[in-house]
Chains A and B, each alone.
Chain A
Amino acid sequence: MAKSQIYGYSDKLSVKAGDDIKFMISAEGTATFKARLVRLIHGDEHPDGPGFLEEPIEAPLDRDWPARKQYVQKGSFLQVADPARVLAPGGAFTLHAYVFPTLPGAGRQVIIGRWSVERNLGYALGINGSGRLEFWVGDGAQADAVAAEPLLMPQVWYFVAASFDSRTGNAVVHQQAVLNRYNSLLSKIVPYDYASHVSERLRVRPGHAGDVRFLIGGASERSEARGEFVSQCYNGKIDRCGVQGGVLDGRELAAISAGGKPGAADILAYWDTTAGYTDRGIGDTVIDVGPHKLHAEGVNCPVRAQTGWNWNGRNDCFRLAPEEYGGIEFHNDAMTDCRWEPSFSYTIPAELKSGVYAVKLTAEDERAEEYVPFVVRAARPRAPICLLLPTASYLAYANAQLSFEADAVQAITAVTPILQDIDVEIYKNGVEFGLSTYDHHADGAGVCYSSCRRPIFNMRPKYRMPAVCCPWQFPADLSIVAWLDHMGYQYEVLTDEDLDRDGIAAIKPYRVVINGSHCEYYSERMMDATEDYLAEGGRLAYLSGNGYYWVVAFREKQPWIMEVRKLEAGSRAWQARAGEHYLASTGERSGLWRHRNRAPQKLVGAGFTSEGMDVSVPYRRMPDSYDPSVAWIFEGVRGEIVGDFGLARGGAAGIEIDRYDLTLGTPPHSVILASSEPFTDNYPLVQEDVMFMHPGMGGTQHPLVRADMVYFTTPNDGAVFSASSIAWASALPCNGFDNGVSRVMKNVIDAFMKVGPLPGKR
Chain B
Amino acid sequence: MEAFRVSGASPAVGDGAIATNISAAADLTAADTRGAWARPRLRVRYPFTRRTPLLIRVAYDPRSLATRRTIVDKRPLYWVAGLILLAIVPLLGSNALLSSSTVFAMYAAINIVWILVVGTAGIWSLATLAIVGVGAYGSAYLSITYGLPWWGMIAIGPVFGLICGIIIAIPAIRLEGWYYALLTVGLAELCRVYAVQSQALGSSEGGLYGAATFIPNGVSQRTGLVISFFAAFVLMLAALALYRVVNGQRLGRLLRAAPEKQEAFAEALGVNYRAARIRVFLISSAALGLIGGFYATYFTGASPSLFSMDNMMLLLAMITIGGIGTTGGAVVGTLIVVLLDQVFVELGPLRLIIVAAIMLASVLFTRGGLFGVATQFSTWRSRRKSERRAQRSERGGEVMPDEATEIRDKQTIYVRRFDETVRKHLRPLVTDEVIAEHKRNPSGPHSDTLERLLNYFRRAAITDKYGILAVKSFAEYRVIALSGRRGVPPRVVDDKVYATPDEAQHAVFLRRVQDLMQS
Which A residues have a C-beta under 8 Å from some C-beta of B? 45-47, 144, 146, 149-151, 159, 172, 174, 176-182, 188, 190-201, 203, 240, 250-251, 253-254, 257-262, 264, 267, 270, 272, 274-281, 287, 289-291, 293, 309-310, 312, 319-324, 401, 403-408, 410-411, 414-421, 424, 427-431, 442, 462, 464, 466, 469, 614-615, 649-650, 680-682, 700
**Which listed residue, A179, A274, A324, A615, touches B29 by the CB 8 Å rule?**
A179
* B84 adjacent to chain A (CB < 8 Å): no
User: B462 and A419: CB pair below 8 A?
Assistant: no
Residue of A whose beta carbon sits closest to that of B456: A411
* B186 adjacent to chain A (CB < 8 Å): no
Give B61-77 interface residues, CB cut-off 8 Å to A: 64-67, 69
Q: Which residues of A contact B17 (CB under 8 A)?
A: 289
Residue of B whose beta carbon sits closest to that of A292: B16
Contact flag A174-B462 (CB < 8 Å), given A191-B65, A289-B19, A615-B445: no
Residue of B whose beta carbon sits closest to that of A556: B1
Interface centre among B14, B49, B477 (most CB of A within 10 A): B14
A68 to B40, CA, bound (A): 53
- B81-120 vs A, CB cutoff 8 Å, 1 = contact: the mask equals 0000000000000000000000000000000000000000
Q: Which residues of B contact A274 (CB under 8 A)?
A: 19, 21
User: B486 and A442: CB pair below 8 A?
Assistant: yes
Q: Which of B31-39, B301-309, B352-360 contacts A (4 or more CB under 8 A)?
A: B31-39
**Which listed residue, A320, A406, A442, A466, touches B6 by the CB 8 Å rule?**
A320
* B13 adjacent to chain A (CB < 8 Å): yes
Interface centre among A45, A267, A321 (most CB of B within 10 A): A321
Give B162-197 interface residues, CB cut-off 8 Å to A: none
Q: Which residues of B contact A190 (CB under 8 A)?
A: 65
Give B1-46 interface residues, CB cut-off 8 Å to A: 1-8, 10, 13-14, 16-29, 31-34, 36-43, 45
Q: Which of B310-318, B327-335, B376-384, B465-473 contacts A (4 or more CB under 8 A)?
A: B465-473
User: B67 and A180: CB pair below 8 A?
Assistant: no
- B480-519 vs A, CB cutoff 8 Å, 1 = contact: the mask equals 1011101111100000000001001100100000000000
Q: Which residues of B contact A406 (CB under 8 A)?
A: 462
* B451 adjacent to chain A (CB < 8 Å): yes
Contact flag A407-B460 (CB < 8 Å), given A199-B41, A416-B467: yes
**Which listed residue, B32, B446, B466, B474, touches A178 by the CB 8 Å rule?**
B32
Q: Which residues of B contact A323 (CB under 8 A)?
A: 7-8, 21-23
A427 to B16, CA, bound (A): 48
* B245 adjacent to chain A (CB < 8 Å): no
User: B33 and A250: CB pair below 8 A?
Assistant: no
Give B436-485 interface residues, CB cut-off 8 Å to A: 443-446, 451, 454-455, 457-462, 465-471, 473-474, 477, 480, 482-484
Residue of A whose beta carbon sits closest to that of B507: A416
Q: Which residues of A contact B24 (CB under 8 A)?
A: 258-259
User: A415 and B482: CB pair below 8 A?
Assistant: no
Contact flag A411-B36 (CB < 8 Å), given A45-B474, A259-B23, A293-B14: no
A264 to B462, CA, bound (A): 53
User: A417 and B462: CB pair below 8 A?
Assistant: no
Give B403-449 interface residues, CB cut-off 8 Å to A: 443-446
Residue of B whose beta carbon sits closest to that of A678: B445
Q: Which residues of B contact A258 (CB under 8 A)?
A: 24-25, 28, 33-34
* B59 adjacent to chain A (CB < 8 Å): yes
User: A194 and B3: CB pair below 8 A?
Assistant: no
**Which listed residue, B21, B36, B48, touches A322 by the CB 8 Å rule?**
B21
User: A174 and B40: CB pair below 8 A?
Assistant: yes
Contact flag A45-B473 (CB < 8 Å), given A151-B59, A319-B4: yes
Write the nearest CB–CB distance from B438 to chain A, whole angstroms. Answer: 12
Q: Which residues of B contact A272 (CB under 8 A)?
A: 13, 18-19, 21
Residue of A whose beta carbon sits closest to that of B23: A323
Q: Which residues of A contact B59 (CB under 8 A)?
A: 150-151
Write the nearest CB–CB distance from A580 to chain B, whole angstroms. Answer: 18
Q: Which residues of A contact B48 (CB under 8 A)?
A: 203
A652 to B38, CA, bound (A): 70
Q: Which residues of B contact A430 (CB under 8 A)?
A: 486-487
**Which listed residue, B2, B29, B444, B473, touches A414 by the CB 8 Å rule?**
B444
* B261 adjacent to chain A (CB < 8 Å): no
User: A309 and B25: CB pair below 8 A?
Assistant: yes
Contact flag A172-B505 (CB < 8 Å), given A428-B487, A464-B470: no
User: B19 and A149: CB pair below 8 A?
Assistant: no
Q: Which residues of A contact B474 (CB under 8 A)?
A: 45-47
Nearest first, the 5 closest Cβ-Cβ pairs linking A and B are: A149-B58, A199-B40, A323-B21, A180-B27, A250-B37
- A-B pairs with beta carbons under 8 Å apart, 9 shown: A192-B60, A259-B25, A272-B13, A287-B13, A293-B14, A321-B6, A323-B21, A420-B470, A615-B443
A270 to B40, CA, bound (A): 24
Q: Which residues of B contact A404 (CB under 8 A)?
A: 462, 482-484, 486, 490
A47 to B474, CA, bound (A): 8
Q: Which residues of A contact B486 (CB under 8 A)?
A: 401, 404-405, 427, 430-431, 442
User: B40 and A197: CB pair below 8 A?
Assistant: yes
User: B25 and A250: CB pair below 8 A?
Assistant: no
**Which listed residue, A176, A182, A270, A407, touches B32 by the CB 8 Å rule?**
A176
**Which listed residue, A179, A196, A312, A427, touches B487 by the CB 8 Å rule?**
A427
Q: Which residues of A contact B39 (CB under 8 A)?
A: 197, 250
Secondary structure type dominating chain A contacts:
loop
> Contact residue range for chain B?
35 or more
User: B18 and A261: CB pair below 8 A?
Assistant: yes
A312 to B13, CA, bound (A): 24
Known: A324-B23, A431-B486. 7 other contacts (CB 8 A): A150-B67, A180-B25, A250-B39, A261-B20, A275-B13, A323-B21, A428-B488
A26 to B263, CA, bound (A): 37
User: A322 and B6: CB pair below 8 A?
Assistant: yes
Contact flag A415-B25 (CB < 8 Å), given A250-B36, A293-B14: no
Q: Which residues of B contact A201 (CB under 8 A)?
A: 45
A275 to B26, CA, bound (A): 21
Q: Which residues of A contact B457 (CB under 8 A)?
A: 410
A179 to B33, CA, bound (A): 9
Write the nearest CB–CB distance from A56 to chain B, whole angstroms. Answer: 22
User: A290 and B21: CB pair below 8 A?
Assistant: no
Q: Which residues of B contact A416 (CB under 8 A)?
A: 466-468, 504-505, 508
**Which listed residue, B4, B23, B40, B490, touches A277 by the CB 8 Å rule?**
B4
Q: Which residues of B contact A320 (CB under 8 A)?
A: 6
Write the nearest CB–CB distance from B26 to chain A, whole angstroms. Answer: 5
User: A176 and B25: CB pair below 8 A?
Assistant: no
Residue of B whose beta carbon sits closest to that of A250: B37
Q: Which residues of B contact A192 (CB under 8 A)?
A: 60, 65
User: A418 and B4: CB pair below 8 A?
Assistant: no
**Which listed residue, B18, B25, B483, B501, touches A310 by the CB 8 Å rule?**
B25
Write the nearest CB–CB distance from A247 to chain B, whole angstroms. Answer: 11
A579 to B31, CA, bound (A): 26
Q: Which residues of A contact B23 (CB under 8 A)?
A: 259, 310, 323-324
**Which listed residue, A151, A176, A681, touches B33 by the CB 8 Å rule?**
A176
Q: Which residues of A contact B1 (CB under 8 A)?
A: 278-281
User: A681 and B465: CB pair below 8 A?
Assistant: no
**Which listed residue, B14, B451, B458, B504, touches A418 by the CB 8 Å rule?**
B504
**Which listed residue, B36, B43, B460, B490, touches A199 by the CB 8 Å rule?**
B43
Interface centre among A172, A276, A401 (most CB of B within 10 A): A276
A162 to B110, CA, bound (A): 47
User: A287 and B33: CB pair below 8 A?
Assistant: no
User: B2 and A418: CB pair below 8 A?
Assistant: no
Q: Which residues of A contact B4 (CB under 8 A)?
A: 277-279, 319, 322
Q: Which residues of B contact A408 (CB under 8 A)?
A: 459
Q: Which residues of B contact A405 (CB under 8 A)?
A: 462, 484, 486
A28 to B363, CA, bound (A): 54
User: A419 and B41: CB pair below 8 A?
Assistant: no
Interface centre among B10, B13, B49, B446 (most CB of A within 10 A): B13
A260 to B33, CA, bound (A): 12
Q: Which residues of A contact B33 (CB under 8 A)?
A: 159, 176, 178, 254, 257-258
